[in-house]
Structure 1
Amino acid sequence: MLDIAEDLQRWLAEGRDFAVATVVAVGGSAPRHPGAALAVDAAGTAIGSVSGGCVEGAVYDLCQQALQDGKPALERFGYSDEDAFAVGLTCGGTIDVLVTPVHASSPLREVFTSAVTAAADGRAAALARIVSGPPDLRGRALLVRAPEAPPGSPYEGGFGAHPALDRTVAQEARAFLDAGRTGTLEIGEQGSRCGAPLTVLIESSVPPPRMIVFGAIDFASALVRVGKFLDYRVTVCDARPVFATAARFPEADEIVVEWPHTYLERTEVDARTVLCVLTHDAKFDVPLLALALRLPVAYVGAMGSRRTHLDRDERLRQVGLTENELARLRSPIGLDLGARTPEETALSIAAEIVANRRGGSGVPLTGAHTPIHHDARPTPSSTRTPVGRVGAVA
């Protein structure tokens, strides 16, 4: 739901009633990930998507029904071999969709407003909702904000049940938020792992991950454009002010004129950050990579020929890097696409970053017997009920 936060923020500000359908779980080759959403207001206006078109019509109808009767519903959609024309996913996967009405009097509305405002403003927040469980626990939500939220406000809202449930879900939501994850968890009604099980959907909205490109060369300009296309917040860093200019990199979010290793020492990185070293010069590369390969970042790649790579590896050993640390370095940077131009090289680098992030092999899908989507994880809700109607939540 937080993926359409800006539109929902406007609807809430205008006082509109609406129903939002959120992907709770996926199985197989489903086109959208958990958290993807479609919303329909009382006038019939729709925003967002839950399947890329496969089941949008049916989900639209469910949203209109929820607006009329005020009841949430949980529905499963999947491809039917017996009736290829039935509503379902022709890609062969399954998705579970939670449909929630949000009227002016809904207890969800205040928490939803805080959640979509945080997401639209680029601030980290995690929204937890009951997917299945006792009817009196549905229709409520709990919001956890970023660590810099004011002291004394660990979460907003709640489920109106046992206090331990709110505390435990808030702790779990914090862990989801720290990892930038969206998914479900099973938990007991009193916040323990025993007792009547509840399924809770936790949606995380986090600021875009960082891509730091070191080396203000022509290849960097193409990589900046691809990085922005992939929704990274892109920084270009180079010690040479004549090259590191806004005129040369108009699409970069930030341009830094500083020695690369000095900048990396002082800037903030996390487990989603990718570092692309295009400086191609040992006086920049060695001190930069000696630091980068010891940081908890997602990806470190360095440009250069195979001869340059071997020389650089030896220089890094001489300054104390271990074989395990050197094994983290993607060099020569990128996948083997036969790339020659800056744009082709940027595509090669981006492809390796995506494969590293999603666990892909980088081999052609034609003739391969590997999953198309590597990041789909089975959840209890995707294995509990046969394909077809799951039934109303309330």
Structure 2
Amino acid sequence: MLDIASELRAWCAAETDFALATVVSVTGSAPRPPGAALAVAGTGTALGSVSGGCVEGAVYELCLETLASGDAVRHRFGYSDDDAFAVGLTCGGVLDVLVVPVPRGHPARPALAAAADAVAGGRPVAFASVTDGPAELLGRGALAVWPDGTFDGTLGGAPALDATAAGEAAALLAQGRTADVVIGTQGGVCGEPVTLFVESAAAPPRLLVFGAIDFAAALVRAGRFLGCHVTVCDARPVFTTAERFPGADEIVTDWPHRYLDAEARAGRLDARTAVCVLTHDAKFDVPLLELALRLPVGYVGAMGSRRTHRERTARLREAGVPEAALARLRSPIGLDLAARTPEETALSIAAEIVAARHGGTGLPLSRTSHTIHRPPPTPRTVTAPVPLR
């Protein structure tokens, strides 16, 4: 739906009655991904696409039918070997399409309008709706969910369902992912299952790895597994090569602090960004960390022994970094897994990043008593970017 948000925003403002068809599941070589949408107004005007043409006519008719009946419907389109003229996908894939009538006064409209406004303004938002489960919830409402877990709208069930759905949607938004989530009707994992389709309008979180060493190569792989956009940066061109880091999205040859300062000035860093310093060299580490600890990023970690950490911290104090900023530094980097290999070390770093992102303790769950899946933590206020002298 978010791919046609600007047009839907105009329809909501004009109080236009319309039906919204969204691809909620894809199998095989279907032409459009989950989230692709077609909207049809009561006047017959259409915008968007769910299949690039294969089943557009059939979905258009479904939209008009749901507007007339007021009932949402989920329909599967696939290729039919028995009837080559049947409505289906010539590519051989399968699409599940949810068609929901959204007339004036519909409970989903406020969330839809809020999500459309956010997309138009370039702000991150997740849009969650029920695509499978109890009939009384199908197509009856929606949520617009913000990065801090707050939300507009309702799914039409218990308040606990809205709260749990918002937490799950915020977690997907933090990763820039669009996916299904299954929870219970009362907001837990028990009871009749409810399948939510969550669309995210946000770029993947960034993982900035400074220091082109073997541990960095393993961390790149872990970062990609977590869905991050991974950048490797080092001032030494002999080490910053695509052959050494085939999984990286970007490989940059530059002084680390200079690159980070340029990214901050360009507005490409946020509270989901993780900065991992693996260089072990004071001439790189100190100016880089002096800047990183003043930026509104979510995680700053540095590799090294405890002795290295003490020496590095002393240099940062001499450079004027305040104690509050130093307290943000996670060094030695990673959780205590007794890791030795680059892969094990990457796992410990990735685990600490996940714990920091979601407010986890890093303790074994068997030694805790709190709820396993918690809502996103309240974002911290961090000192605004300060350029290096």
Question: Is TM (by shorter chain) over 0.5?
Answer: yes
Q: Does 1:178 align with 2:174?
A: yes
Q: Which residue of 2 aligns with 1:115?
A: 115
Q: How does 1:281-292 map to 2 (within 5 A)?
A: none
CA contact (8 A) 1:119 1:206 kept: no
Shift of 1:96: 0.4
Q: Match for residue 229 of structure 2?
A: none
Q: Rate the CA distance shift 1:11–1:175 in 2: closer, same or farther, 3 A.
A: same
Q: Which residue of 1 aligns with 2:260?
A: 264
CA deviation after TM superposition for structure 1 residue 66, in Å: 1.1
Question: 1:144 maps to which residue?
Answer: 145
Distance 1:272 1:75 in 2: 39
Counterpart amino acid of residue 134 in structure 1 = P
Shift of 1:134: 2.0
- Cα deviations by residue, 1:76-112 (Å, 9 ceiling, x for unpaired): 0000111122111111110100001111121111111
* Whole-Å separation in 1 of the counterparts to 2:271 and 2:31: 28
- Residue 38 of structure 2: aligned partner: 38
Partner of 2:201: 205
Query: Which residue is equivalent to 1:129?
Result: 129
2:165 is the alignment partner of 1:169: yes
Distance in 1, matches of 2:143 and 2:157, equals: 12
Inter-partner Cα distance in structure 2 for 1:211 and 1:324: 17
Q: Give the C-alpha shift of residue 263 in structure 1.
A: 3.9
Query: 1:163: Cα distance to partner?
Result: 2.4
Aligned CA distance change for structure 1 residues 31 and 287 (closer, same or farther; 3 Å): farther
* Structure 1 residues 35 and 272: alpha-carbon distance in aligned structure 2, compared to 1, 3 A threshold: farther
Aligned counterpart, 2:6? 6
Whole-angstrom CA distance in 1 between matches of 2:46 and 2:110: 21
Offset of residue 137 of structure 1: 2.1
Pairs within 5 Å for 1:77-92: 77-92=77-92
Q: Partner of 2:337 in structure 1?
A: none
Identify unmatched segments of 5+ residues in structure 2. Answer: 209-253, 275-282, 300-339, 347-389
Which amino acid is the alignment partner of residue 68 of structure 2? Q
1:59 CA displacement: 0.6
Partner of 1:343: none
- Give the Cα–Cα distance (whole angstroms) in 2 for the partners of residues 5 and 128 of structure 1: 14
- Indicate the SS of the match to 2:165: helix
Give the TM-score normalised by the residue count of structure 2: 0.55
Post-superposition offset of 1:291: 7.2
> How far did 1:170 drift?
1.0
2:57 is aligned with 1:61: no
Residue in structure 2 matched with residue 194 of structure 1 by the alignment = 190
**1:111–1:157 Cα contact (<8 Å) kept:** yes
Distance of 1:291 and 1:89 partners within structure 2: 53
Whether 1:160 and 2:165 are equivalent positions in the alignment is no
One-letter amino acid of the counterpart of residue 80, structure 1: S
Q: Which residue number in structure 2 is paired with residue 356 of structure 1?
A: none
Q: Percent identity?
A: 51
Question: One-letter code of the match for 1:166?
Answer: D
For structure 1, which segment, 14-23 or 133-142, has the greater mean C-alpha deviation from structure 2 after superposition? Answer: 133-142
RCO higher in structure (CA 8 A, sep ≥6): 1
The answer to whether the 8 A contact 2:8-2:116 is kept is yes
Indicate the residue corresponding to 1:243 in structure 2. none
After superposition, the Cα gap between the structure-2 partners of 1:172 and 1:25, relative to the gap in structure 1 and judged at 3 Å, is: same
Give 5+ residue unaligned stretches, structure 1: 213-257, 274-285, 298-321, 329-394
Contact 2:256 2:288 in 1 (8 A): no
CA contact (8 A) 2:108 2:154 kept: no
Deviations 1:161-199 (A, max 9, x none): 222211111110111111111121221111122211111
Q: In 2, distance between residues paired with 1:272 and 1:94? A: 36
Distance in 1, matches of 2:77 and 2:98, equals 11
Q: How does 1:207-246 map to 2 (within 5 A)?
A: none
Following TM superposition, by how much is the alpha carbon of 1:73 offset from its aligned partner in structure 2, in angstroms?
0.7
Are 2:255 and 2:284, in contact at CA under 8 Å, matched by a contact in 1? no
CA separation in 2, counterparts of 1:131 and 1:323?
44
Deviation string, structure 1 residues 146-170 (Cα, Å, up to 9, x no partner): 33x8xxxx11122232222111111
Structure 1 residues 180 and 95, CA gap change in structure 2 (3 angstroms): same
Cα distance, 1:210 vs. partner?
Answer: 8.4
CA distance in 2 between partners of 1:103 and 1:80 (Å): 34
For the aligned residues, what is the CA RMSD?
4.1
Q: Is the 8 A contact 1:124 1:146 kept in 2?
A: yes
Q: Which amino acid aligns with 2:51?
A: S
How far apart are the structure 1 equivalents of 2:4 and 2:207?
Answer: 23
